[in-house]
Amino acid sequence: MPNPDTPAISVRGAVKQYGALQALAGVDLDIHQGEFFGLLGPNGAGKTTLISSLAGLVRLSAGEIRVMGHEVVRDYREARRKLGVVPQELVFDPFFSVRELLRIQSGYFGIRRNDDWIDELLANLDLSHKADINMRALSGGMKRRVLVAQALVHKPPVIVLDEPTAGVDVELRQTLWQFIRKLNRDDHTIVLTTHYLEEAEELCGRIAMLKQGRIVALDSTPNILRRVSQRALQIRAAGMPDVLPTFLAEHLLARESGVLQLRFDRHAEIEGLLAAVRESGALIEDIAITQPDLEQAFVEIMQENSR
């Protein structure tokens, strides 16, 4: 039995240099067993590079990565047995059917008879009826699900998904998340990169934000959200002056076509803001209070770090 205190993934001083470009500029990160972890960041932040390094597809220029305590270069056999990776790119082998592919993939991990688990995977991913179809004949969404099945043939304790829902329709996304959540409840560690921030907000217990190869924020999802504690007062009003009074301008988060987003910290401030809008001569038609979301947190944290 693995020691439950061993991090599922441990990254130390990871640097990856591509010529002059630093795709990873010194990353330190521990992901614990059983976590549902989100890796977020804009395009080119280094998310895929980090995942590729821990999967042994890319070799670090400096630093060290362990999967369930196994260093990924020296102890690659054990490290790779513990890891399932769903790649970002929609790759497939056109020579084989879904079932053939999954059997072969099981064989690569030294598993001889795996049909029971393969059937379970296919059922959970809603692919049972496609088992004997050639990969070429599958739609993009189905290919994506086969990639998930391929990553899971050896029941890895650590599962990494690199933007798994890019280009996947909504219904399918739900099927996929149900399954991944179930795996997480069964003690699999899940690491996810995504561009759908609401997805990370909904699923992930902890989040790291990556920018230009560095971690710029690392915290529980609620704490990340709290960092941008700003709930906003949203006011729709007619006859708003183009130039807002100073008091309103100081609280302004956003403004578009007659709708103001105003920052406030305490409820007591709301009355003052409403009064200021009325005094400017505008007629309030509607008000609402909006909760912070990850999208906003993301933009703000990214901006903080570029200052």
Our CA angle for 177, 183, 188, nearest 5°, is: 125
Residues 35-74 that bind ligand ADP (CB under 6 A): 41, 43-49
Nearer to ligand ADP, 49 or 194 (CB): 49
Residues 119-148 that bind ligand ADP (CB under 6 A): none
H helices present in the chain, as ranges = 47-54, 76-81, 98-108, 115-124, 140-152, 170-185, 197-203, 221-227, 246-251, 268-279, 294-306
Nearer to ligand ADP, 46 or 157 (CB): 46
Nearer to ligand ADP, 159 or 210 (CB): 210
Contacts of 221 (CB under 8 A, 6+ apart): 38, 200, 201, 204, 205, 206, 207, 294
Is 37 within 8 Å of 190 (Cβ atoms)?
yes
Nearer to Mg ion, 22 or 88 (CB): 88
Q: Does 76 bind another protein (CB under 8 A)?
A: yes
Nearer to Mg ion, 17 or 88 (CB): 88
Question: Could you tell me which stretch among 84-92, 132-140, 200-208, 295-303 binds Mg ion (CB under 5 A)?
Answer: 84-92
Question: Could you tell me which stretch among 24-32, 72-80, 163-171, 175-183 binds another protein (CB under 8 A)?
Answer: 72-80
The one of Mg ion, another protein, ligand ADP, none whose footprint includes residue 44, by CB under 5 to 8 A per kind, is ligand ADP
Selected from 21, 59, 238, 272, the binder of another protein by CB under 8 A is: 59
Is 162 within 8 Å of 193 (Cβ atoms)?
yes
Local structure of 75: helix, strand or coil: coil
Contacts of 214 (CB under 8 A, 6+ apart): 25, 26, 27
Local structure of 227: helix, strand or coil: helix
Question: Considering CB under 6 A, how many residues would be counted as binding ligand ADP?
Answer: 11
> From the CB of 40, what's the least distance to ligand ADP, in Å?
9
> From the CB of 151, what's the least distance to another protein, in Å?
8
Q: Does 124 bind Mg ion (CB under 5 A)?
A: no
Is 97 within 8 Å of 133 (Cβ atoms)?
yes
* Chain positions contacting Mg ion, by CB under 5 A: 47-48, 88
